[in-house]
Amino acid sequence: MDQSKIRNVAIIAHVDHGKTTLVDKLFHQSGMFRDNQQVAERMMDSMDLERERGITIAAKNGSYIYKDYKINIIDTPGHADFGGQVERVLRMADGVVLLVDAQEGPMPQTFFVVKKALAANLPILVLINKIDKEAARCEWAVDEVFDLLVRLEAPDSTLDFPVVYGSAKQACMVADYKEPLVPGQGMDLISEMIIKHVPPPSGDPKAPLQLQINTIDYSLYLGRLGIGRLMNGTLRLNDNIAVARRDGSIKPVRISKIFAFAGSEKVPVESAGTGDIVAIAGMDDVTVGVTFTDPDNPKPLPLIEIDPPTISMHFIPNDSPFAGQDGKFVTSRHIEERLNRETLADVALHTEPLTEGVGFRVSGRGELHLSILIEKMRREGYEFQVTRPHVIMRQEGGKTLEPYEALTVDVDEKYQGAVIEKLGRLKGVMSDMKVHNGMSRMIFKVPTRGLLGYRSQFMTDTRGMGVMNYVFAEWGPHAGEIQNRQNGVLLVKENCVSVAYALFNLQERGTFFIGAGEPLYVGQIIGENSRGEDMVVNPAKGKKLTNMRASGTDEAVILTPPRQMSLEDCIAYINDDELVEITPKVIRLRKQSNVRIKG
C-alpha cells in the first residue's frame, strides 16, 4: 500500500476508560462486518482472563480501511503492571489517541501512559469519552489533560491538541460536547482526526530491511509469531534474512509466513512495505526486541529498554499433603519450562532459580502482573505454591531505598476518615485533597509495601463504593516496618473433613474461609482469628452422641457464610511464614512446612 496512506496509531488510556470498546466501534463503522454477522463484544480482548476481568492484559493489533487510508490500531493495556507492553508497542505508532473519562478525568495510569507517549515524541489526540454520564465534566476534563501535559513538560505543539467528544459505547462522536449525541453517528470524526494529525510512517522502502519485534503471538499451526513494524525496507515471503538477537549475535532465518491485520484478524500476504505492521513466522525462538534485517548489510535497531521489576515472589513445587491430586504439571522442571516460555514473550518478567531450596524467584511489575501469570498457569494444569510478594529494594550510597506509589482514591466524604487512618498506618502521606459533590479525591504517597493487600481492606472500609488507583512515583528512603496483617489465623490441627457442627462452635473465634464438608490437612489456614495470635482448631469435632433423649429440640446449626477469597486476596493476605497453594481446582492457604503447629 502507498506509504502516505498508512496511519499507525495507539489507543492509550487509564483502565476502564473505553479503549477496547472504541476499537470495536471503529471496526464496525468501517463496514468490515456484515449487518447480520455475529461479532463478540470487545473482540480485541481475546484472552479469557481479559473478558472475565474487563481489562486489557496484552497489547493487540488490528486495522481498518477509512476512505483510501489504512489505519493500523494498537490497543494497549491501561494498567501500570503491564506498562512494559505499552513502552514496546508505542514504537510501532506515529501518534496516540488518549481516551479520558468525562467524569473521572485523567487518572494515575493516564499519567503513566501519557508519559510514555511523550518520551516517544508522539503527537497526542484527545477523545473525551463517556460524556453521556450524568456527572460528566467535559471542560474540566480537557483542562485537566492540559494541566497534565504541562506537568510532564510537553512541547508547545503537543499542548495544542485536537479534541473530540462522545460515547464509544453508543458509537457516537461530536466536535463540541454541547451538541446532541446521536447513537451510531459521528465516528468519522475520529478517523478524520487521525488522518489529519498523525503523520504517515517515515522510512525508506529501498533501504536495508529493519523490522523490530515488539510483541509475541502464538499459533497452533505456525508456532511463535513476531509482531512489529517495518521501519525500513521491504519484506517478502520466503526471503532469507538475518535476525540480530538481544545478545548481539546474528542468525540466518527464512520467512515462512507474513500476516497483515484486517480488523482483529490476521490475513496472509505475499509482502509488506515500510510502515506496515505485520506478524511473521519462521523463527521458533523469536523474542521481543530482536531485529529482522538484511543479511548482507545487517543494521539492528537499538534494544528496547524496559522499566525494572518492582515485586518478586517465589514459585515452588507443591509439598502439601494433597500435592499431586489435581495438577497435570507438578514438578520443578515443569514450572521452570513454563516460566522460561513466559519470559520469551514478557520481557518485563524476570526469573531465576532459588539459591536455597527448590523453586524460582519470579519478579514482575506488580501484584496484578504476577497474579495474571499464576492464574494462566493454574488454568493450564500447573500445580505449585507461591510465597508472599516482596518489594525489590535498592542500595544507593549505603542507604536502602524502596519504591513509592502515587495513590489516588475517590470515596464518599463519610468514608474519607477511615481511609486516611488506614493509609497513615501504612506510612502513607497525603499530598492533596479535593471535594466535589460529596465525593472526596485524595492523593497519597505510599510505600509500595504498604499497598500490598490493601485493596480488599479499602473496599471494606468504603462499602465497595471507593475507587483506588496508583502508579509508581519514585524511589525513596526505607519507611521502616509496616504490619501486613493485624489478626492471626485459624490453623487445622490434623488431617480431616470439616464438620458443620464444629464450624458452628468455632465461628465466634473468627471468620472462616471454608465451609462444611471440605477435606483439610494439618497446617492449613481455614480462617482469620479475631485476635492477634494464631489459633489451632479442630474443624472436625462432632457432637457427642448418647443414648439419652434431649429434653428439648436441638438448636439449628446456622453457619455464617465463609469469606470468599480470590487469588489476589490470598496472595495479599499471607505473611512471610505462609504459602498459597495453587492447583487447577482449588486455592488453599497454609503455613510453610517448617513451621511447627502447636495445638
Q: Is 116 helix (H, G, I), strand (E, B) or coil?
A: helix
Nearest-angstrom CA–CA distance, 205 and 236: 12
Nearest-angstrom CA–CA distance, 50 and 60: 12
Q: Is 367 helix (H, G, I), strand (E, B) or coil?
A: helix
Q: Does 215 count as an annotated binding residue?
A: no
Q: Does 21 count as an annotated binding residue?
A: yes
Cα atoms in the 13 Å half-sphere on the side-chain side of 486? 8
Q: Is 526 helix (H, G, I), strand (E, B) or coil?
A: strand
Nearest-angstrom CA–CA distance, 400 and 412: 37
Residue 52's CB: how many other CB atoms inside 10 A?
A: 10
Name residues whose C-beta falls within 8 Å of residue 147's C-beta, 6 or more positions apart in sequence.
none
Amino acid, single-letter form, for residue 272: A
- CA distance to 143, 215, 305, per residue, from 117 (Å): 19, 17, 14
Nearest-angstrom CA–CA distance, 185 and 172: 5
The answer to whether the CB of 400 falls within 8 A of the CB of 481 is: no
Q: Does 20 count as an annotated binding residue?
A: yes
Start-to-end CA distance of the chain, whole Å, equals: 75
Q: Sheet containing 277-281: which strands, arranged edge to edge? A: 250-254, 240-244, 291-293, 210-219, 223-232, 277-281, 257-262, 265-268
The answer to whether the CB of 318 falls within 8 A of the CB of 229 is: no
Q: Does 204 count as an annotated binding residue?
A: no
Name residues whose C-beta falls within 8 Å of residue 459's C-beta, 6 or more positions apart in sequence.
466
* Burial track 418-436 (b if 16+ CB lie within 10 A, e otherwise): bbbebbeebbbebeeeeee
Q: Does 132 count as an annotated binding residue?
A: yes
Nearest-angstrom CA–CA distance, 207 and 309: 37
Q: Which of the 8 DSSP states describes residue 301? A: P
Q: Is 237 helix (H, G, I), strand (E, B) or coil?
A: coil
Q: Does 583 count as an annotated binding residue?
A: no
Q: Does 594 count as an annotated binding residue?
A: no
Closest by CA to 104, choosing from 462, 461, 441, 419, is 441
Cα dihedral: 260, 262, 264, 268 (round 10): -40
Q: Does 19 count as an annotated binding residue?
A: yes
Q: Does 131 count as an annotated binding residue?
A: yes
The answer to whether the CB of 380 falls within 8 A of the CB of 582 is: no
Q: Does 130 count as an annotated binding residue?
A: yes
- Please give the annotated binding residues for GTP, written as ranges: 16-21, 129-132
Residues forming the annotated binding site?
16-21, 129-132
